[in-house]
């Protein structure tokens, strides 16, 4: 398959790109600094340096792909972002970016869309532990709202979509046994980005999770 990964140089994006390439798929990595991946990644990789909040850049990137994966986010310290706003990324990068992606997909006829969100948004909000509810309210309230708007746009898109909601992400290099639930259930409160990359790659290349939001956690 030919898969476009938007937000390809963040931690999760890199994991998705690596997993898809390992499986032999052709990947187009899209981000503001995507060309840097070409020197560190092997496989059938094409890179596009562009900003997801630029509609024209996205329109030019989408055609010719079988699926689009979106892993947009803000990688800066959440306390700083809460107090001062992000220094390098638009505060509403998720919702603006997905709006551009959905419009471009409809224009080009690409229908398969997989979007990484976060556990605790939408239907899983009531399942958060108290400490996580405090974290959401105090530190990432605005980012959580942008996640929620992103999910709303995805669900209303009319595309063949899947939303992936991982619990707290870690940079562990290990591939854990994952627990995937369409009912919002989790087995742990942490999961490695590499594990999430595997689940996102499954969702992009298979139809098992079409039209569903799935929670992802490590099995133990």
Name residues whose C-beta falls within 8 Å of residue 71's C-beta, 6 or more positions apart in sequence. Answer: 5, 6, 7, 8, 10, 12, 13, 16, 116, 200
Is residue 102 predicted with pLDDT exceeding 80? yes
Confidence of residue 194 (pLDDT cuts 50, 70, 90): very high
Boundaries of domain holding 14 = 2-218
Question: How do residues 30-88 score in pLDDT, each as one tens digit?
Answer: 999 999 997 777 789 999 999 999 999 999 999 999 999 999 998 877 877 687 788 88
The residues, any chain, with a CB within 8 Å of residue 156's CB and separated by 6 or more, are none
Structural contact between residues 179 and 219, judged by C-beta atoms closer than 8 angstroms: yes
Q: How far is it, in rounded angstroms, from Cα 94 to Cα 53?
A: 9
Q: Mean pLDDT across the chain, nearest whole number?
A: 94
Query: CATH number, domain at 99?
Result: 3.40.50.720
Domain count, the chain: 1
**Is a pLDDT exceeding 90 seen at residue 188?**
yes
Greater pLDDT, 138 or 149: 149
pLDDT at 61: 98
């Amino acid at each position: 398959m030919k898969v476009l990964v938007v937000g390809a140089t963040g931690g999760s994006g890199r994991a998705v790109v690596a997993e898809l390439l390992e499986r032999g798929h052709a990947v187009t990595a899209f981000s503001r600094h995507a060309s840097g991946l070409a020197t560190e990644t092997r496989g059938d990789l094409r890179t596009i340096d562009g900003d997801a909040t630029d509609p024209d850049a996205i329109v030019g990137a989408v055609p010719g792909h079988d699926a689009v994966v979106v892993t947009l986010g803000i990688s800066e310290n959440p306390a700083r972002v809460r107090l001062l706003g992000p220094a390098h990324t638009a505060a509403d990068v998720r919702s603006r970016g997905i709006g551009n992606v959905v419009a471009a997909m409809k224009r080009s006829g690409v229908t398969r869309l997989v979007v990484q969100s976060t556990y605790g948004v939408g239907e899983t909000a009531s399942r958060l532990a108290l400490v996580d509810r405090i974290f959401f309210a105090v530190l990432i309230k605005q980012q959580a709202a942008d996640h929620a708007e992103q999910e709303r746009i995805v669900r209303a898109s009319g595309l063949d979509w899947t939303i992936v909601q991982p619990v707290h992400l870690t940079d562990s290099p290990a591939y854990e046994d994952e627990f995937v639930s369409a009912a919002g259930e989790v087995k742990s409160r942490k999961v490695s980005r590499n594990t999430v990359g595997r689940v996102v790659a499954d969702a992009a290349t298979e139809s098992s999770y079409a039209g569903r939001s799935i929670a992802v956690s490590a099995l133990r």
